Amino acid sequence: MTIKIHPIKAFNDNYIWTLHDDHYAVVVDPGDPHVVLEYLSQHQLSLLGILITHHHYDHVDGLVALQEQWDCPVYAPNDERIPGRLTTVKQGDVIRFDALSLCFNVLFTPGHTLTHICYHDDDNLFCGDTLFSLGCGRMFEGTAAQFYNALSLLKNLPDAIHVYCTHEYTESNWQFANHVRPNDSQLQAFKKSLDAKRSQQLPSLPSTLATEKALNPFLHCDQADLQKILAQKFNQTIESPEQSFGLLRHWKDHF
C-alpha cells in the first residue's frame, strides 16, 4: 500500500500535510482541528499520531482536540508554549509509525523560532516554516547564523527529497527571487509551471530539494554571485554566508 500525502487546506494559505493509507493517518502541524477531523471522517481514517514543527498557533491549535479524540502521540520540540501531552523530540531522534511503515528523523532547525524542528525520511521533508519554496520563514527568534546553519542542514539532504512546507508562499517568494536575480532563465521556466498549477488552484508543493538548491536564493548565501548582489545593494563587504543570509532576510522583510 503506497502512502498518500494530502494537503488539507487551513486558514488563508496553510497546508496540514496528512500522510495516510486506507486506514491510518499521521498529520503534520494541525493548526485547525475541524478540517482534519472532516478529512479523517470522510476517508474513514484513524489518527496514528501528530508531528509538530514549532509553537505558532497555526501549527498547534488543533492538536489538543485531535489528541482528545484519538488519544494519539504528539511529537514536538521541547517548548512549553506548545499545549497537549507531548512526546518531546530532539535532533537525532527517530519516530516510527509501524502501521504506516513510516520512520522519521528529527533535525533541529532554529531560526524562525528558537525550538523549530523538521522531520524527514529518505523521500520526504516536513519543514514547517523553516524552508519555503523559493524562500524561508521569517526570523522571529533566532539569529542569522542559526537560521543559516538550519538551512545548511536541510541542504545536505538528498536532492530528490520532496519538500513539504506549511504555507503556499511560492508566488510571492518567486517575485522576490526574480527581483534579486532578474532574467534568470531557470526562474522564468519555474514561473510557467507555477502559474499552470496555481491557475487550477493546485498547490505549488511539494517542491524538491533539487529545485530549491537551484532556485531558492536563501540556499545560495555561500555563492559569490549572490554575495556580490548583496554587497552592492547594502553597500558593505560580505565576509560570511551568515552575513549574506541576514542581509537577504532583511531585504525580503522590506520587499
Query: How many CB atoms within 10 Å of residue 38?
Result: 12
Q: What number of chain residues touch Zn ion (CB under 5 A)? A: 2
- Strand order across the 4-10 sheet: 4-10, 14-20, 24-28, 46-51, 74-76, 86-88
- Strand order across the 117-120 sheet: 94-97, 102-108, 117-120, 124-126, 162-164, 207-208
Judged by beta carbon, residue 17 or residue 190, the one nearer Zn ion is 17
Judged by beta carbon, residue 32 or residue 229, the one nearer Zn ion is 32
Judged by beta carbon, residue 115 or residue 149, the one nearer Zn ion is 115
Query: Which SS3 state, helix, strand or coil, does residue 1 take?
Result: coil
Judged by beta carbon, residue 129 or residue 168, the one nearer Zn ion is 129
What residues pair up with 18 in beta bridges, in sequence order? 6, 27
Q: Which among 33-41, 45-53, 55-63, 188-196 is the span making contact with Zn ion, rule CB under 5 A?
A: 55-63
What residues pair up with 97 in beta bridges, in sequence order? 102
Q: Which among 27-35, 52-60, 211-219, 234-242 is the span making contact with Zn ion, rule CB under 5 A?
A: 52-60
Give the Cα separation of 180 and 247 in Å (integer).
12
Do the beta carbons of residue 102 and residue 142 sit within 8 Å? no
Binding string, 168-207, against Zn ion, x = CB under 5 A?
----------------------------------------
Q: Which among 31-39, 45-53, 97-105, 128-136 is the span making contact with Zn ion, rule CB under 5 A?
A: 128-136
Do the beta carbons of residue 246 and residue 144 sit within 8 Å? yes
Q: Is 129 in the site for Zn ion (CB under 5 A)?
A: yes
Q: Which among 45-53, 71-79, 123-131, 171-179 is the span making contact with Zn ion, rule CB under 5 A?
A: 123-131
Sole binder of Zn ion in the list 56, 120, 220, 252 (CB under 5 A): 56
Query: In the complex, what is the shortest distance from the CB of residue 47 to Zn ion, in angstroms, rounded to a whole number?
Result: 22
Chain positions contacting Zn ion, by CB under 5 A? 56, 129
